[in-house]
Amino acid sequence: MPEVPPPEELASQQEIAKNIFHLLPSKLKDAFSVLPPLEVKPIKFYSPFNKSPEEPVRYVWFRSNGKMPEDPFIHHCLLGYASDLNFLPTSLQPHGIGFMEKDIQIATIDHSMWYHRPFKMDDWLLYSIESPSASGARGFVRGHIYTREGVLIASAVQEGVIRKRK
């Protein structure tokens, strides 16, 4: 597991969004105005309007926003949802392009996930994301999800179309 600060030392995505709220399109303002299903704490904030190249790597802590039922199927469903967060935008980072730029269009081609061990979504989980390839209007990302103790509980991969609208 990568060495990163614990979630208690980080600001939540909701707190960060308040600082750029005035820049967000109205459809995203609505999304950040309600209580989200996940509490998300990025290790580093990447602006959706980014103009400077960055390494194609992200680390994000997340957990359910509230108590979860004991049914493991529900935990698997929420982790499947969470696995899509911060994923394809990671492949834009080396290009200095933010996923909220008005001419950018992103669509998932495929997304696969493997559950390796039992886990609880109401515990903090670390999502380690990297994009080894982004070219020819395609972005490829892979991620590993760990418990706080460093146990790998799931892996995910995704490929998407990323292009400028015409």
Question: Hey, which bits of the chain come out as E strands?
Answer: 38-42, 57-64, 104-115, 125-135, 138-147, 152-164
Positions marked catalytic: 84, 108, 158
Burial state string for 112-121 with b = 16 or more CB within 10 A and e = fewer than 16 = ebebeeebeb
The answer for residues whose C-beta is within 8 angstroms of residue 23's C-beta and 6 or more apart is 49
Tell me how far apart the alpha carbons of residues 91 and 19 are, in angstroms, rounded to a whole number.
Answer: 24
Strands 138-147 and 104-115: unpaired
